[in-house]
Amino acid sequence: MIIIAESGATKTDWCAIMKGGKTVSVKTPGMNVAVMQKDAIMAIISQAAEEFKAKGATEPLKSLHYYAAGLITSEGEKVPAVAKELHEALCSLYPGAEMEYASDLLAAARSVCGHEDGIAAILGTGSNSCLFKGGKIVKNVRSAGFILGDEGGGACLGKLFMADFLKGLVPEDVSKEFAQEFDVDYMTVVANVYRGQAPSRYLGSFAPWILDRYDRSDYVKNLVDNNFRNFFTRALLQYDVKSYKVGVVGGFGNANKDILMRIGEEYGVTFSKIIGSPIVGLIDYHSEGIE
């Protein structure tokens, strides 16, 4: 049996792949292993183990592949420094199993490229991209986060809109409707962006409202389109898009796939697939290790 875990800030998707290709899926809370205490980590992975057992996933575990943001190993290193307590907890539950820890970007690349070469992109609250060749990430245009980068993501769209809103640059009809629906006085916005615990998530929370007005407002349409154009010109076009197809993972990209594909045509970009979550592609990728 092989287990895949794809962990984000709010949830972790787990999937056990058994002999014959049968799969069992489990969801638990997300884990930020860089800051969580070992007992909290143990509680979540124990929950996953118990749910697997209850659903009949009881075969001996051959390997576990854990993907999350920030899990990057140095040359010759098997366990990232931030994952040492996670590793200890997993080894106590599954002694003898092979453990792999990898970034969310590698998860995206394996999911959309499989065992082929290609360009992979994440378009969620934030954004990231890479060139995947020979089963490895060989080039990465840095995301730079929501302040300096994350072009094409939901938080960047929220940031662009909010900057215009605070400066009175949003058309009056859109601005008035926005102010009626959200608590967006100047000091509240500044506090959430500059002193809040999750400013990227805060800015990204406005993206659905903005996108809902895409077909009703030329201002909104241009804002959304230019957010994606910035992702193409500042990230994707730094790869050889003429030679490699682009695969996209992420709820924001998947929700806007028609816009993304239309704008991609402007730059000669061909997409292999656009999906909301990497887990299905990861199941296909890792299933080759099941006899």
- Residue 255's contacts (CB-CB under 8 Å, 6 or more residues apart) are 211, 276
Alpha carbons 186 and 202: distance in angstroms, whole number = 14
Strand partners, 209: none
Both tokens assigned to 130: 């890479």
**Region for 41 from its dihedrals, namely left if φ exceeds 0, alpha if ψ lies in -120 to 50, beta otherwise:** alpha
Q: Looking at the structure, do residues 251 and 126 belong to the same domain, yes or no?
A: yes
For every residue of 111-178, DSSP letters joined together read HHHTTS-EEEEEESSSEEEEEEETTEEEE-----HHHH--TTSHHHHHHHHHHHHHTT-S-HHHHHHH
Query: Looking at residue 264, what is its pLDDT?
Result: 94
- Split the chain (291 residues) into runs of 10 and give each run's mean pLDDT: 86 89 89 78 90 91 89 76 85 90 92 94 91 93 81 93 94 93 89 85 92 95 96 94 94 94 94 91 82 60
Query: Looking at residue 291, what is its pLDDT?
Result: 60
Q: Looking at the structure, do residues 37 and 167 belong to the same domain, yes or no?
A: no
Alpha carbons 25 and 281: distance in angstroms, whole number = 14
Residue 121: burial class (beta carbons within 10 Å; 0-12, 13-18, 19+): buried
Which among 72, 102, 132 is the end of a domain? 102
Domain range enclosing 209: 113-277
Question: Within 10 Å of residue 229's Cβ, how many Cβ atoms?
Answer: 16
What residue type is 22 in one-letter code?
A: K
Strand partners, 139: 131
Q: Looking at the structure, do residues 174 and 229 belong to the same domain, yes or no?
A: yes
CATH number, residue 72: 3.30.420.40
Query: Looking at residue 9, what is its pLDDT?
Result: 67
Give domain status of residue 284, yes or no: no
Q: Looking at the structure, do residues 76 and 166 belong to the same domain, yes or no?
A: no
Both tokens assigned to 223: 């804002």
Q: Looking at the structure, do residues 55 and 118 belong to the same domain, yes or no?
A: no
Q: How many domains does the chain have?
A: 2
Query: Looking at residue 240, what is its pLDDT?
Result: 94
Give domain status of residue 80, yes or no: yes
Q: Looking at the structure, do residues 123 and 95 belong to the same domain, yes or no?
A: no
Strand partners, 274: 248
